[in-house]
Amino acid sequence: MADAVKGFMDRITNDDPETRGQQLWVMFALSLFLVATLNWYAYVREPEVIRVEQLLEYKNEVVKVEGTLISWVEDPYASGDDRIDAIIDDGTGVVEARWYRPADMPPIGTTVTVMGDVIEYDGRIWLQSLGAGAVEWTTSDLPEIEVLAIADVAQNPAAYQGQVIQLTGFIGESIAPDATFTSAYLGDHPNYGNSEHQMHLIIRSAIGQWVEATSKIEVQGMLTYQQRDLRWSLQVQGPEILVDKNHVLNIPQLDWSAQATWSYQSGQTVTMTGVLETGETDWRLHGPSGEFICVLPTQADRDANETVNLHNTVQTVEGRLMWSSSSAGWCIDANNGMSPTLVNPETPVSLLGMLSADPIGTVADPDATYTLSAYVKYAVEPGVEQDEAYFVDSAAYSPGWTTVAVTLPGPRTMWLEAGQNIIANVSVSWDDEDMRIRLIVHDFTLGSVPSARTLLWDDGATQWSYSRDQNVLLNGKAIYEEGEWKLYREGSNESILLTPQVQAIGTDEYHADQSMTWTGRLRQMQSADGMSLVYLLDQADALDSDGDRLANTLEDAFGTSTTSEDSDDDGVSDRQEYIDSLA
């Protein structure tokens, strides 16, 4: 074979004039063949899969890197670029992949293969990728996602470090649609002050829609420890956040007397009541002491003003609280595309708002009656002829709570629970003794009873005092000793007094000597020596959500449902099946 090739090369490279033309044509054809072969090889050659630590050895070459996707952000500089910056970790290091004209991204934690040019500039190195095929993954590369509660992570965050987890909770601040990097907190209660646990979120990439503060959301991401801030954080991608549209938002009302706190609601949808001043260009809302806030209405608001003159009328406006650099002050803005109509003249102004905006005018007519929708601030015990209570404008504590003293008719047979909605017919009077406005309640209707609040033994007596006279949940073991029941913390000598309900299931033979979740009303009473106050869980019983007389704690351990009396629909109650299992 070698002799044949040698002979062929000798024939096309000799100096014989008779064959020179043919030789040139053969050489030309051979060169085309060689160039085409090299181009074909360059096209089909599979880029080499390398480790991140080797990237400097492959500058300006096309390579592949296989690793775990730990973060990504779309259009990182909000400049309109069709680009995603992704961070890949292969165990030897991390590298940024700048992906132009990208396709859809997989979830955080996915094992991906990224192909791109190795670029090194000014001491920085990254992969530059182009087109939909630059990042590859399969279904088997997707991460296993563990669904947890925030309390699960709080107990042992190190157990989930580096894992992809899914949490559901309530976000603590509003997130703008175009925010490419946001730091926020996810709580287990829509009201910031009532959250027992909070998970710090680092949100990358624009969500594309407003996410209101207190929204119920579902997030998934990778749990990491931030050494600089000494805290655990969940790395979340904005486009993957799911918002529960069925959750009713608690829209805060701004307090005229607490302007220093308005910045805490920056970016949120808020309401505010005052005297509205309309104009061709600028609108303002005036408070009781001459202060004002600018109002930016929609065209629909201006049209409504043409139909019903709103100038110099008491109105409640609703919009997004934004800082205006042109007026160097706060504005309520309805022109961001997501807020509801700023002014709705068909909606009656809340009485609490009127008291805030025009207190003198409201008290001036003591014979007028109003229908008020409010919430009970503190639990009110039944059986008293006439009670003093307090109404507030939201179900749970929030900065700028509007609180007003009320006098309730009596006697009553039911408790008024803290946070319970109440619809009342009231009149407004001036209390000379306490020098304040007081509402006289003539009749009322109560809303649904709020859920019991969970108490933790570690919270201590001071924290428990905020739940006094409220329905609560507390885990413990009921023990009868020295003629009285006590609820003991599992594995300790800590206890509180216990007054079980008549025929309580928590004290029968099937629940005896069990540590369970108890429900009852937290009361304070004098100790036996009269020298101190002690806590009592009154009218208590083991928590039984489905009413089958088998406590939730035992049902969880036994494997039956806490929401059905007969979990397997076999005609035998869960309690009876549990009793039969003990025989």
The model's pLDDT over 228-245, given as tens digits with 9 standing for 90+, comes to 888 999 989 888 899 988
The stretches of 516-560 forming alpha helices (DSSP H) are: 552-558
Domain match, 345 and 379 both: no
Average pLDDT score, the chain: 83
CA distances from 297 to 149, 178, 228, 303, 481 (A): 41, 22, 43, 10, 67
Q: What is the pLDDT of residue 489?
A: 92
Question: What is the rounded CA–CA span in Å between residue 376 and residue 379?
Answer: 7
Q: Which H or E run contains 525?
A: strand 515-526
From 68, 73, 114, 107, select the one nearest 91 (Cα to Cα): 68
Residue 110 lies in domain: 49-141
Identify whether 557 is part of a domain: no
How far is it, in rounded angstroms, from Cα 184 to Cα 235?
Answer: 11
Residue 579 in domain = no
Quick one: tokens of 517? 């979740």
pLDDT of residue 29: 65
The pLDDT, as a whole number, for residue 86 is 87
**Quick one: 31 exposed, middle or buried, by C-beta within 10 A (0-12, 13-18, 19+)?**
exposed
Position 521 confidence tier, pLDDT thresholds 50, 70, 90: very high
Same domain membership, residue 238 and residue 152: yes
CA atoms within 13 A on the CB side of 307: 10
pLDDT band at 348 (very low <50, low <70, confident <90, very high): low
Contact 242, 107 (CB under 8 A): no
Interatomic CA distance for residues 84 and 294, integer angstroms? 39
- The CA angle 178-259-430, to the nearest 5 degrees, is 135
CA neighbor of 111 nearest in space, from 137, 145, 73, 135: 137
Task: Give the residue with greater pLDDT, 178 vs 468.
Answer: 468
Residues 65 and 134 in one domain: yes
Burial profile 466-476: b = 16 or more Cβ within 10 angstroms, e = fewer: ebebbbbbbbb
CB 536 within 8 A of CB 524: yes
**164, 103: one domain:** no
Residues 462 and 511 in one domain: yes
Q: How confident is the model at residue 337 (pLDDT cuts 50, 70, 90)?
A: very low
Higher pLDDT, 140 or 39: 140
The token pair at 93 is 């290091």
Which pLDDT does position 497 carry in this prediction?
93
DSSP of 492-560: SS-EEEEEEPTT-GGGSTTTTT-EEEEEEEEEEEE-TTSSSEEEEEEEEEE--TTSSSS-HHHHHHHT-
- Over its C-alpha atoms, the chain yields an Rg (Å, rounded) of 35
Q: Which residues pair with 257 in a beta bridge?
A: none
What element of type H or E holds 314?
strand 313-324
Query: Is residue 178 domain-shared with residue 155, that is, in the same domain?
Result: yes
Please give the Cα distance from 3 to 171 (Å, whole number).
Answer: 80
pLDDT of residue 520: 94
Given a contact cutoff of 8 angstroms between Cβ atoms, the answer to whether 334 and 296 are in contact is yes
Q: What is the pLDDT of residue 40?
A: 47
Asked if residue 20 has pLDDT above 70, the reply is no
Among 136, 138, 125, 129, which residue's Cα sits nearest to residue 63? 129
159-168, 354-363, 458-467, 535-544: which is most confident:
535-544
Q: Which of 17-21, 33-37, 446-450, 510-514 has the lowest mean pLDDT?
A: 17-21
**Are 327 and 395 members of one domain?**
no
Question: Could you tell me if 329 and 394 lie in one domain?
Answer: no
- Of the pLDDT bands very low, low, confident and very high (cuts 50, 70, 90), residue 339 is very low
Best CA proximity match to 437, nearest among 427, 447, 422, 446: 427
Q: Are the C-beta atoms of residues 306 and 279 closer than 8 Å to each other? A: no
pLDDT tens readout for residues 359-376: 777 777 777 888 888 899
Of the residues 446, 472, 489, which one is the last residue of a structural domain? 446
Specify the higher pLDDT residue, 256 or 348: 256
Q: Which two tokens stand for residue 362?
A: 């409201």
Compute the distance between CA of residue 332 and CA of residue 203 in angstroms, rounded to an integer: 26
Q: Which of 243, 270, 289 is the last residue of a domain?
A: 243
Q: Is the pLDDT of residue 19 over 90?
A: no
Residue 14 has pLDDT above 60, yes or no: no
Distance CA 575, CA 555 (A): 9
Residues 363 and 330 grouped into a single domain: no
φ, ψ of residue 54 to 5 degrees: the values are -100, 0
Write the CATH number for 375.
Answer: 2.40.50.140
Average pLDDT over residues 482-505: 91
The answer to whether the beta carbons of residues 389 and 369 sit under 8 Å apart is no
DSSP 242-295: EE-TTSPP---B--TT-GGGGGGGTTSEEEEEEEEE--SS-EEEE-TTS-EEEE
What tokens were used for 62? Answer: 């096309």
262 — pLDDT class (breaks 50, 70, 90): confident
Residue 3: pLDDT band (50, 70, 90) is: low
For residue 338, what pLDDT band results from cuts at 50, 70 and 90?
very low
Residue that is written with structure tokens 């000494």 in the block: 230
**Is the pLDDT reported for residue 88 higher than 60?**
yes
Segment 265-275 shows an average pLDDT of: 85
Structure confidence at residue 522 as a pLDDT band (50, 70, 90)? very high
**Average pLDDT score over residue span 411-428:** 88
475 in a structural domain:
yes
Q: How many Å apart are CA 135 and CA 119, to the nearest integer?
A: 17
Closest CA to 452 of 485, 484, 423, 415: 415
φ/ψ bin of 80: left (φ > 0), alpha (ψ from -120 to 50), beta (otherwise): left
Which of 286-295, 308-317, 386-395, 533-542 has the highest mean predicted lDDT (pLDDT)? 533-542
Residue type, 393: D
pLDDT at 152: 86
Is the confidence at residue 44, as pLDDT, over 50? Answer: no
Q: Count of domains in the chain?
A: 6
CA 463/CA 456 separation, integer angstroms: 9
* 464 & 536 share domain: yes
Taking only the tens place, the pLDDT of each residue in 271-289 is: 888 888 998 888 999 888 7
Q: Are residues 36 and 58 in the same domain?
A: no
Residue 196 has pLDDT above 60, yes or no: yes
Which structure tokens are listed for 456? 């933790």
The Cα 430–Cα 426 span in angstroms is 13
Cis peptide preceding 411, ω within 30 of 0: yes
Residue ending a domain, choose from 299, 328, 349 = 349
Say how many Å lie between the first and final Cα of the chain, rounded: 92
| Cβ proximity of 111 and 137 under 8 Å | yes
Read off the pLDDT of each residue in 105-127 and give the average, rounded to a whole number.
87
- C-beta atoms surrounding 142 within 10 Å: 14
In a domain, 375, yes or no: yes
Is the distance from CB of 313 to CB of 305 less than 8 angstroms?
no
Q: How many residues does the chain have?
A: 583
- Asked whether residue 137 is domain-assigned, the answer is yes
Q: What per-residue confidence (pLDDT) applies to 32?
A: 65
Is 362:355 a contact under the CB 8 Å cutoff?
A: yes
Q: Which residue is listed with tokens 């503190």?
A: 378
**Domain assignment of residue 249, yes or no:** no
Rounded to two decimals, the pTM is 0.56
Q: Where are the beta strands (DSSP E) in 172-255?
A: 181-187, 198-204, 216-226, 231-237, 242-243
Are residue 301 and residue 375 in the same domain, yes or no? no
pLDDT confidence of residue 25: 58
- Residue 539, pLDDT > 90, answer yes
In a domain, 562, yes or no: no
**19 occurs within a structural domain:** yes
Q: What is the CATH number of the domain that holds 325?
A: 2.40.50.200
Inter-residue contact 315 to 329 (CB < 8 Å): no
Instruction: Summarize the confidence of residues 35-61 as an average pLDDT.
Output: 71
> Picking from 30-44, 139-153, 343-357, 504-518, which range would have the lowest pLDDT averaged per residue?
30-44
